[in-house]
Amino acid sequence: KYRGSPLDPPLRSRFQCRDIGSLSYSELLQQMTDAGLNAPAEGLRKLLSFGFAVSSSDSSASFPDFPLDNLPDAARILSNNPSLSELDLLNQLYPTEVILTPSQKTSIKTLIDSLKIQVSKPVHQKIVKVDHDYGITAKVTIARYGWLKSSDFVLKVPVREYTAASAKSETNFVEIEKQSDLLADMVQTYAVADFCLIGPRGSGKTALVVELCRLLNQPLDQITLYKDMSARELIQSRNTKPNGDTEWMDSSLVKAAKNGWTIVLDGLHRLHLSTMGILHRLVHDRELNLFDGSRLIRHDKFDELLEKLEVTAEELNNRGIFKIHPAFRIIALAEPPKLDTSNWLTPEILSIFLFHNVKNLNKTDEIKIIFELYGSVHPAMKKILELAQALRERSEKDPILKTFAEALSTRQLLRIAHRLSKFSGDEISIHDLVQRVFLSKFLPSLPRQVLESMLKEFDIVPIPLAKSKDIKVTIDKEKQLLTIGKTETKIYPQNLSHSLKVPETLFYDTPHYVQLLERILQDFLLGYHLCLIGNQGVGKNKLIDRLLFLMNCPREYIQLHRDTTVTSLTIAPTIIDGKVIFEDSPLVKAVKNGYTLVIDEIDKAPINVTCVLKSLVETGDM
C-alpha cells in the first residue's frame, strides 16, 4: 500500500491495476457478528465505527491505519467475556499509548468520548484455576473482582494433548495485582489469536510469557530476532547430512506450528519489515509454503482433505502437506517504537497481531516483589528504588534521563536487591552498584555529570577514600573452603577427568584485583551470568582464570571474531582419519558437563551470533 503517492510508473505499465477497495461497514459488522455470537451488538458497532473514523480519508493523513482485519478476533474475545470494557479491547487492536503523538492522543480521546466507548471499569482479573480434560482444550477459570462483588467465567483455550506426566514446574514468579490483570488479558487473547507484548527492556515480558505457558502446560520455544535476519532463516535453513548431502531443516517456528507449541519471537522491533511480511499469511490464514516445496495448512482444512481424498494423515505428509496444530500460537516481544526516529509499528505490523502494553512496575509493586523473593528490603535499596522512580517520572522531558531509566529496569533492581540480601553485612558501596548498572565509566562527560547530580540528590555517594583504603580483602584457601574477604564458597572436588580444564595463570594479588575477585565471586554465587567490560590489557582473562583456579572449577574457552557463525558456535568440525567429524563445540561441552564457559571477545561477533546466547542465558534453552 502506498499512501500519498501513486504506484511506480514502470510497475503500472506492466500490469493491469485495479483498486480492490475494502469491505463495507455492513459486511464487516456481519463478519464480527458471526465471529462473536455472544458479544454485545452495541460494543461491536462502536469498535467498527471507531475503526472507520480513524481510517477515513479525512483522518488518514494524521493517524496510522486502523487494523480492520483484526476486528473479528476482537469480537471473539468479547464473545468469551462480554463484560470486557470496550476501551481495553480497543487498545489491543490499536495501541494508542505507543503509536501516537501527544496531539494525536488528544484527538483520539475526543473521538472515544463522542462515540461513548466504554472506559475501563475498576475491576481486577485473576486466573484462579486451569483444568485439563486430557484432550486438546484447557478450561481456564478467571475471577473478576469489583467494588461490590466478584464473578467467575470459564474460558476454553486450545492446548497440546495433555498427559498426566506434564505436571507444572516450580516457579518463583511473584504475581502482583497488575501482573494478574495482564495475565488474564493475555490468556483471553491467547484463546483466539496471536499477540505481541510491547514494553521496555527488563519490564518482565519474558517472565509473563513463561508463566502463561506454565499455567497452560504449553511447551515453549524461543527465537531471538535480529536486524539482518532473513525470511529463509525464520522458516527453513540448509543442513548437511552425515554422508555430505544437504537438506532443508525446519526452524523452531515451523516445528512449533507442526507440534502445537508456543513460539516466542523475541525482538520484533529489530526485524526488518520485509522479513516480517512473511508472518502475514501464517498469522491470518494459518498457511505457509516452505522452501522445500512442502506446505503447512490450517487444521480444519487438513481434516477436510482427509475426508475428501480418503487418505491418512501420513499419506498427506508424504505428499508434502502438513497440519498446523490448533494449539500453535505466536507471541512476539518488542520494545516501544521511537516515534521521532524509527517507528517499526507500521500499519502492516498493526494488522498482524493484537497488542498488550507491559509497563514498568511502580515502587510499591517492586517492593512487594523484593519482599516476596528475598524476605526484606535493604535500607539502601529504598534509595535506589526512589532513584528509579524519579528517573521514570522525569524521563519524558529529558532524553538523557530516559536512557538511565531504561537501564535501571525492574530486572536490574531485582538483581541489586538479591545481592544486598545475600551480602548485606559487607562494606558494600551503593554508589558503585548503581555506577556499574549505568556503566558510568564509559559515559560521555555530560551524561556522567547528570548522573552524579541525580545520585547526590538521593544521597547515594561513594565511600570516602580514606575509609575505602582501610578495607582490606585477603584470600584464604583451605581444603574445601575458599574465602575472599567476607565471601565464602566451597571448592570443587578434585577430579582427574576435568583437572586439565582448570586454568592456572601468573597472578599478583594486588588489593584492587582482590576486591574485584570478591565482587565477581559474589555475582557468581548468586547464579548470574557475568560480563567483564574493560579496555584491552587490563586483565579480564586473568581475573576469571584466577578465580576459577582458586575454586578448582573447570572451564571451556571460546573466542569469537567477525567471521563467527551460529554453526561454529555450537559445532566444531575436526578431521579424523581423513574424514570430517562434527564434534560438540566448547559451548555445548560446557552446557552438558556443567563447566564454566569463558567467551572471549564477545563484542567482535556479529549480532545474529550473540543473539543466540540470549535464550540460553534467560531461560536455559537453546
The DSSP symbol for 287 reads -
The DSSP symbol for 205 reads H
CA-nearest of 136, 140, 143 to 154 is: 140
pLDDT of residue 3: 47
In 273-420, the DSSP E strands lie at: 288-289, 295-297, 321-323, 329-334, 354-357
CA 193 – CA 469 distance, rounded (Å) = 60
CA 334 – CA 352 distance, rounded (Å) = 14
- The string of pLDDT tens digits covering residues 96-117 is 888 888 888 888 888 888 988 8
pLDDT of residue 239: 80
- How long a stretch of residues is the chain? 622
**How many Cβ atoms sit within 10 Å of the Cβ of residue 381?**
23
- Burial grade of 379 (CB within 10 A; 0-12, 13-18, 19 or more): exposed
Cross-sheet strand order for the sheet of 321-323: 288-289, 295-297, 321-323
pLDDT of residue 270: 87
CA-nearest of 541, 528, 552, 551 to 602 is: 541
* Confidence bin at 23 (pLDDT 50/70/90): confident
**How many Cβ atoms sit within 10 Å of the Cβ of residue 94?**
23
User: ∠ CA 105-108-109 to the nearest 5 degrees?
Assistant: 85
Least confident span in 253-257, 396-400, 552-556: 396-400
Helix or strand holding residue 352 (H, E): none
In 133-209, the DSSP E strands lie at: 137-145, 150-158, 195-198
Mean pLDDT of all residues in 181-185: 92
pLDDT of residue 57: 57
pLDDT over 70 at 468, yes or no: no
**How many Cβ atoms sit within 10 Å of the Cβ of residue 133?**
10
pLDDT of residue 7: 64
- The string of pLDDT tens digits covering residues 381-424 is 888 999 998 988 888 788 888 888 888 888 889 889 988 888 87
pLDDT over 80 at 135, yes or no: no
What is the percent of the chain where pLDDT is above 70?
Answer: 93
pLDDT over 90 at 614, yes or no: no
pLDDT of residue 265: 93
- The string of pLDDT tens digits covering residues 482-503 is 998 888 899 888 877 788 889 9
Q: Phi and psi (nearest 5°) for 598?
A: -105, 115
